[in-house]
Amino acid sequence: MVARSLCLAIAILLLACAPAADATFKGGNGRVAYDVRSKGIGDDGAATAYRAVATVQPDGRADRFLRECQQSAGKTVDGDCAIEYRTPVWRPDARQLAFDAGKQLALISSTGTGFTLLPAVTSDDSQPAFSPDGRRLAFSGNGGIHVYDLRTRRAKRIIARGADPDWSSAGRIAYERGGSVYTATAAGKKATRVASGKDPGWSASGKSLILARRGGIYTVQAPSRGAGGKGLKRVVRCSRCAGPVLSPNGKLFAYDAPGVTVAQVSNGRKVATLVQDFGGGGESFDGSNPSWARR
């Protein structure tokens, strides 16, 4: 009963937040993945907790909860509660996602099948990002950036200091270090500072980046020939936003507002709220860390 009540509450919340379809969403934009964490009080008065990896259409329709954990009074009542569910990221072909499962990374198909825990490389593997060919994962661990080859099952540290990597279609890796965003080759060479900020995300072309920094979400040109990024432009003003990702067609971006929000790159106008956070009275719901798939 507790699990059913919690699922019903989440379903009602997401349905209430789903916007009507919008012509803005035409093109190559696929589903948006995100992670969920919530807590509340069950029908029996016991404290409940829920966490999951989910995906949703960019117009707010057809949520899919790929893998989840439901607990009541600290005990598992449904799903897999032995792992965490954080920072899901799409493989370029949109058939699979990787996510932070706690100490290790995990893989799962876009339909929720084929769950696989990868062997731990560091004491806390996190923040995965697929290579353009989908055969490798860049990730954070022990203060640096590592690359794991999914075919050979071998890993290598490529950047000694850095976090939150993202891999461009052109083969470069963007990452955060010391309050600034940098880019480097896939081997970790030729590091170039782009701008102050965090949470870098590449455009589909690999020619520009989106990032969060004080005052909002910004876009910037990718560095070329060793020169830093140019054309830094604020696209939305906000104080607590984070985790921006550009849509495959480059016209939209999703971000934590808090909650998962979609806005236009051209003018920052909000066009959808995919997941609405709430909190109060001992209950909370948090959807965050969006990743956008191609269609």
Structure confidence at residue 229 (pLDDT) = 77
The reported pLDDT for the residue numbered 36 is 95
CA distance 24 to 21: 9
Q: What is the pLDDT of residue 87?
A: 98
Which residues in the chain come in under a pLDDT of 70?
Answer: 1-27, 225-227
Q: Would you state the structure tokens that stand for residue 202, as one six-digit string? A: 């590449």
The CATH fold of domain 2-294: Neuraminidase (2.120.10)
Q: What's the pLDDT at 155?
A: 97
CA contacts within 13 A on the Cβ side of 167: 26
pLDDT digits 0-9 by tens, 177-217 = 999 999 999 999 999 999 999 999 999 999 999 999 999 99
Instruction: Check: CB of residue 32 under 8 Å from CB of residue 292.
Output: yes
Residues with Cβ within 8 Å of residue 86, at least 6 apart in sequence: 35, 99, 100, 101, 126, 289
- Give pLDDT, residue 226: 65
Output the pLDDT for position 263: 96
Instruction: From residue 121, give the alpha-carbon distance in Å to each of 39, 111, 124, 179.
Output: 31, 27, 8, 25
Task: For the chain, give every domain's residue range.
Answer: 2-294
pLDDT of 278: 87
Q: 98 is written with which tokens?
A: 């990787």
